[in-house]
Structure 1
Amino acid sequence: MAIKPISLSVSCTLTAIGQRTRLPFAMAGLLLSTQAQAFLPTLLSVVTTEELASTSQHTAPHNSTQQDAQSVQNVSAGHSSKAEQLLADWRKQVKAENLAQHTTWRRLLYFYEGQNSAFAKKKTQSLIDDPSFFLSERGRQDSGAELDAMLVALAQELTLSSTNNNQANTQANRSVLCRFPARVAWLKNVLTIDGTSLSADCPELDAWMQKLAPEQLSIMFAQEYLDNPTSAFAHTLLRIDSKASAADPNQVHHAYALNYTVGGNPADSFPVYAVKSMIGGYDSIIEIDPYPERFAKYIQDDERDAWTYQLNLTPSEVQQIIRHVWETKDLELPYYFATDNCASEILRLIDVVRPQQHLLSQLPHAVIPSDVVQLLKNENLLGSTNYTPADSTLRQAQLNEVKHQRDQLGYHNSAKQTVNEIKSAQLNPVSSMSDNKQTLLPRLIAVSDNNPIDRHPLQLGYMGFGQRGDNNYIDIGVRAGYHDTLDHPSGFPQFFDLEGAAATLRLYDQDDNSLSNRDSQSKSVVLQNVTLIRGRSFNPINSAKKGKTWGATIEATRINDGSQEDGTDHLVGSVGYETGWSWAFGTPRANTGEMPPQLCYTFLSGTAQGGRGLNKGFRVGTGINAGCRYQINNQLRAQAELQLPYWYHGNSDESDVRSHYWQPISTLGLQYDIDKKQALRINANYDWQDRVAANDDVQLSYRRYF
Structure 2
Amino acid sequence: MVRWAGVAGLLWLAMMGVAQAEDAQAADVAALQARAAERGLADSARWRTLLHYEPDWLGQGLHSTVASDSFFLAPTGRTDPAAELDATLEALASGRWIEGRDKSADCVFIARRKFLVDALGLAPHTLGGAQCDAYRRWRAALSPDRISLIFPTAFPNSPSSMFGHTLLRIDSSRAARGTELLSYAVNFAAAAGDDAKGLGFAWKGLTGGYPGIFGLFPYYEKVKQYAWIEHRDVWAYPLDLNGAETERLVDHLWEMDGVRFDYYFLTKNCSYQLLSLLEVARPELRLTEKYSWYAIPADTIRTLADVPGLMETPLFRPSLETTLRWQADQLDADQRSLARELAADEVAFDAPRLTRLAPAERAAVLEVAHDYLYYRLQSEPESAPADQAHANAILLERSRIARPSPFTAVPTPETPPDQGHRTLRLAASTIYEADNLSLGLRLRPAYHDLLDDPGGYTDGAEINFLDLGLRVDPDDGELRVDDLQLLNIVSLSPRNDLFKPISFQIDTGLRRRPSSNVFDDVDNNLGYYLQGGPGLAWGDSDLLGYVFGLGSLDANSALSPGYALGAGASTGVLVYPLPDVQLKAEAGMLEYVAGDDGYYRWAKLQQQFNLSDGLGLRSEIGWENTAVDAGVRAVIGLQAYF
Superposed pair shares fold, TM > 0.5: yes
In 1: Cα distance, 2:188 partner to 2:89 partner: 31
Residue identity matched to 1:137: P
Alpha-carbon offset, residue 416 of structure 1: 4.3
Distance 1:234-1:95 versus aligned 2 partners, 3 A rule: same
**2:437 touches 2:474 (CA, 8 Å); kept in 1?**
yes
Distance 1:183-1:72 versus aligned 2 partners, 3 A rule: farther
In 1: Cα distance, 2:287 partner to 2:497 partner: 40
Q: Please state whether the residue corresponding to 1:616 is helix, strand or coil.
A: coil
Matched residues, number? 576
2:227 aligned partner: 299
Q: Please state whether the residue corresponding to 1:295 is helix, strand or coil.
A: helix
Larger deviation, residues 694-703 vs 130-139: 130-139
**1:563 touches 1:615 (CA, 8 Å); kept in 2?**
no
Alpha-carbon offset, residue 394 of structure 1: 1.0
**1:558 touches 1:571 (CA, 8 Å); kept in 2?**
yes
1:640 aligned partner: 585
2:538 paired with 1:583: yes
Counterparts of residues 120-199 of structure 1 (less than 5 Å): 123-128=61-66, 130-156=68-94, 174-197=103-126, 198-199=128-129
2:526 paired with 1:571: yes
Q: 2:215 aligns with which of 287, 294, 300?
A: 287
Counterparts of residues 367-386 of structure 1 (less than 5 Å): 367-380=295-308, 381-386=310-315
2:419 aligned partner: 454
In 1: Cα distance, 2:337 partner to 2:73 partner: 70
Larger deviation, residues 124-133 vs 393-402: 124-133
Alpha-carbon offset, residue 298 of structure 1: 0.5
**1:465 touches 1:474 (CA, 8 Å); kept in 2?**
yes
Q: Please state whether the residue corresponding to 1:534 is helix, strand or coil.
A: strand
Larger deviation, residues 212-221 vs 420-429: 420-429
**2:433 touches 2:634 (CA, 8 Å); kept in 1?**
yes
1:234 aligned partner: 164
1:699 aligned partner: 635
Residue identity matched to 1:669: Q
Distance 1:703-1:263 versus aligned 2 partners, 3 A rule: same
1:264 aligned partner: 192
Alpha-carbon offset, residue 538 of structure 1: 1.1
Distance 1:155-1:660 versus aligned 2 partners, 3 A rule: closer
2:555 paired with 1:600: no
2:44 aligned partner: 102
2:493 aligned partner: 539
**2:52 touches 2:276 (CA, 8 Å); kept in 1?**
no
In 2: Cα distance, 1:226 partner to 1:71 partner: 74
Residue identity matched to 2:108: R
**1:111 touches 1:123 (CA, 8 Å); kept in 2?**
no
Alpha-carbon offset, residue 572 of structure 1: 2.5
Residues 647-679 of structure 1: CA deviation (Å, up to 9, x unaligned): 1244xxxxxxxx645421112201111012001
* Unaligned stretches of 5+ residues in structure 1: 1-68, 161-167, 511-521, 585-594, 651-658
**2:314 touches 2:416 (CA, 8 Å); kept in 1?**
no
Residue identity matched to 2:623: Y
2:480 aligned partner: 526
Residues 280-333 of structure 1: CA deviation (Å, up to 9, x unaligned): 111112221111112111000011100011122122222211221222221222
Work out which of the two has the higher radius of gyration on C-alpha atoms and give 1 or 2.
Answer: 1
* Unaligned stretches of 5+ residues in structure 2: 1-10, 344-364, 379-390, 393-404
2:345 paired with 1:417: no
2:554 paired with 1:609: yes
Residue identity matched to 2:639: R
Distance 1:427-1:400 versus aligned 2 partners, 3 A rule: closer
Q: 1:471 aligns with which of 436, 443, 458?
A: 436
Distance 1:630-1:184 versus aligned 2 partners, 3 A rule: same
In 1: Cα distance, 2:569 partner to 2:432 partner: 27
In 2: Cα distance, 1:564 partner to 1:384 partner: 55
In 1: Cα distance, 2:491 partner to 2:518 partner: 32
> What is the TM-score when the length of structure 2 is the normalising length?
0.82
In 1: Cα distance, 2:291 partner to 2:519 partner: 49
In 2: Cα distance, 1:138 partner to 1:72 partner: 36
In 1: Cα distance, 2:62 partner to 2:541 partner: 54
Distance 1:155-1:312 versus aligned 2 partners, 3 A rule: same
Distance 1:126-1:596 versus aligned 2 partners, 3 A rule: closer
Q: Please state whether the residue corresponding to 1:277 is helix, strand or coil.
A: helix
- Identical residues among aligned pairs (%): 24
Distance 1:384-1:701 versus aligned 2 partners, 3 A rule: closer
Distance 1:317-1:675 versus aligned 2 partners, 3 A rule: same
2:474 paired with 1:509: yes
Residue identity matched to 2:558: G
In 2: Cα distance, 1:417 partner to 1:311 partner: 45
Residues 31-79 of structure 1: CA deviation (Å, up to 9, x unaligned): xxxxxxxxxxxxxxxxxxxxxxxxxxxxxxxxxxxxxx99997886787
Distance 1:446-1:131 versus aligned 2 partners, 3 A rule: closer
Q: 1:677 aligns with which of 595, 599, 614?
A: 614
Residue identity matched to 1:578: G
Alpha-carbon offset, residue 80 of structure 1: 6.8
Distance 1:313-1:443 versus aligned 2 partners, 3 A rule: farther
Distance 1:613-1:219 versus aligned 2 partners, 3 A rule: same
**1:220 touches 1:307 (CA, 8 Å); kept in 2?**
yes
Distance 1:466-1:199 versus aligned 2 partners, 3 A rule: closer
Residues 637-656 of structure 1: CA deviation (Å, up to 9, x unaligned): 11111111111244xxxxxx
Distance 1:260-1:620 versus aligned 2 partners, 3 A rule: same
**1:388 touches 1:443 (CA, 8 Å); kept in 2?**
no
In 2: Cα distance, 1:583 partner to 1:110 partner: 48
**2:542 touches 2:577 (CA, 8 Å); kept in 1?**
no
**1:557 touches 1:572 (CA, 8 Å); kept in 2?**
yes
Distance 1:527-1:326 versus aligned 2 partners, 3 A rule: same
Counterparts of residues 39-58 of structure 1 (less than 5 Å): none
**1:686 touches 1:696 (CA, 8 Å); kept in 2?**
yes
Larger deviation, residues 633-642 vs 136-145: 136-145
2:457 paired with 1:492: yes
Distance 1:563-1:446 versus aligned 2 partners, 3 A rule: closer
Distance 1:105-1:469 versus aligned 2 partners, 3 A rule: same
**2:152 touches 2:165 (CA, 8 Å); kept in 1?**
yes
**2:576 touches 2:582 (CA, 8 Å); kept in 1?**
yes
In 2: Cα distance, 1:398 partner to 1:564 partner: 51
In 2: Cα distance, 1:686 partner to 1:677 partner: 30
In 2: Cα distance, 1:350 partner to 1:565 partner: 58
**2:519 touches 2:627 (CA, 8 Å); kept in 1?**
no
> What is the TM-score when the length of structure 1 is the normalising length?
0.75
Residue identity matched to 1:417: L
In 2: Cα distance, 1:266 partner to 1:523 partner: 53
2:361 aligned partner: none
In 2: Cα distance, 1:494 partner to 1:301 partner: 18
Alpha-carbon offset, residue 559 of structure 1: 2.3
Q: 1:314 aligns with which of 239, 242, 265?
A: 242
Distance 1:614-1:239 versus aligned 2 partners, 3 A rule: same
**1:84 touches 1:155 (CA, 8 Å); kept in 2?**
no
Residue identity matched to 2:613: K
Larger deviation, residues 82-91 vs 463-472: 82-91
Alpha-carbon offset, residue 426 of structure 1: 5.7
2:395 aligned partner: none
